[in-house]
Structure 1
Amino acid sequence: MTSPLERLGTATASGARCVFLSPHLDDAVLSCGALMRALAPRSEIHVVTVFTATTDGPHTRAARSFLRQCGHGDATDGSTLFAARREEDRVVLDGLGVSHEHLGLPDALFRRRAVPRALAGPAARVARVLPELVHRYPTFRYDIALGRVSRGDRALGAALAARLEARLAGADLVFAPLGVGRHVDHLLTRTLGAGHPGRVVYYSDFPYDQSHARDEDFLRRHGLRAWRHDEGPEGRAAKADLIRGYATQADALFPSGVIPAAPETYFAA
Structure 2
Amino acid sequence: MAVPARLEESLSTNTPWLFLSPHLDDAVLSCGSLMDSFAIRRDITVATVFTEAQPPPHTRAARSFLHQCSGHDAMALFEERRSEDEAALSGIGARHQHLGVTDALFRQNRKVRTALGPLARMLPELVHLYPTYRFDIALGRISRGDRALVAQLRNRVSNLLEQTEAELLFCPVGVGRHVDHLITRAVGTEFPERVVYYSDFPYNQSASPDESFLRKHRLAAWSWETEPARKERHINQYGSQAPALFPDGAIPVAPETYYAPS
Q: Which residue of 1 aligns with 2:91?
A: 95
Which string of whole-angstrom CA distances, capped at 9 and with x for unpartnered residues, describes residues 94-144 of structure 1? 11111111011110000001316xx72x52311221100010000000000
Contact 2:243 / 2:249 at 8 angstroms: preserved in 1?
A: yes
Give the whole-Å Cα distance in 1 for the aligned partners of 2:9 and 2:35: 14
- Where 1:265 maps in the other structure, the secondary structure is strand
Q: Which residue of 2 aligns with 1:241?
A: 233
Is 1:194 matched up with 2:186?
no
Instruction: Quote the offset at 1:190 in angstroms.
Output: 0.5
Contact 2:6 / 2:260 at 8 angstroms: preserved in 1?
A: no
What is the identity percentage for the equivalent residue pairs of Structure 1 and Structure 2? 56
Q: Which residue of 1 aligns with 2:140?
A: 147
Q: Which residue of 2 aligns with 1:182?
A: 177
Pairs within 5 Å for 1:35-46:
35-46=34-45
Which string of whole-angstrom CA distances, capped at 9 and with x for unpartnered residues, describes residues 179-222 of structure 1? 00000000000011111111100000000011112100000010
Contact 1:50 / 1:104 at 8 angstroms: preserved in 2?
A: yes
Give the whole-Å Cα distance in 2 for the aligned partners of 1:20 and 1:134: 32
Contact 1:114 / 1:152 at 8 angstroms: preserved in 2?
A: no
Is 1:206 matched up with 2:198?
no
Count residues with an aligned counterpart: 257
Contact 1:174 / 1:199 at 8 angstroms: preserved in 2?
A: yes
Q: With structure 2 as the length reference, what TM-score do the two structures score?
A: 0.94
Is 1:266 matched up with 2:261?
no
Which string of whole-angstrom CA distances, capped at 9 and with x for unpartnered residues, describes residues 41-74 of structure 1? 11111100000010111000000000000011x2
Pairs within 5 Å for 1:1-269:
5-72=4-71, 74=72, 77-115=73-111, 120=114, 123-169=116-162, 170-231=165-226, 235-269=227-261
Instruction: Quote the offset at 1:15 in angstroms.
Output: 2.2
Give the whole-Å Cα distance in 1 for the aligned partners of 2:4 and 2:39: 19
Give the whole-Å Cα distance in 2 for the aligned partners of 1:69 and 1:192: 29
Instruction: Quote the offset at 1:167 in angstroms.
Output: 1.7
- Where 1:24 maps in the other structure, the secondary structure is coil
AA of the residue aligned to 1:144:
I
Unaligned stretches of 5+ in structure 1?
none
AA of the residue aligned to 1:94:
S
Give the whole-Å Cα distance in 2 for the aligned partners of 1:66 and 1:212: 21
Contact 2:10 / 2:167 at 8 angstroms: preserved in 1?
A: no
Give the whole-Å Cα distance in 1 for the aligned partners of 2:167 and 2:4: 11
- Where 1:228 maps in the other structure, the secondary structure is strand
- Where 2:259 maps in the other structure, the secondary structure is strand
Give the whole-Å Cα distance in 2 for the aligned partners of 1:220 and 1:11: 23
- Where 1:195 maps in the other structure, the secondary structure is coil
Contact 1:12 / 1:38 at 8 angstroms: preserved in 2?
A: no
Change in CA separation of 1:125 and 1:107 when aligned onto 2, cut-off 3 Å: same
- Where 1:225 maps in the other structure, the secondary structure is strand
Contact 1:11 / 1:39 at 8 angstroms: preserved in 2?
A: no
Instruction: Quote the offset at 1:12 in angstroms.
Output: 4.2
Runs of 4+ in 1 over 3 A off after TM superposition: 10-13
Instruction: Quote the offset at 1:164 in angstroms.
Output: 1.9
AA of the residue aligned to 1:248:
S
AA of the residue aligned to 1:48:
A
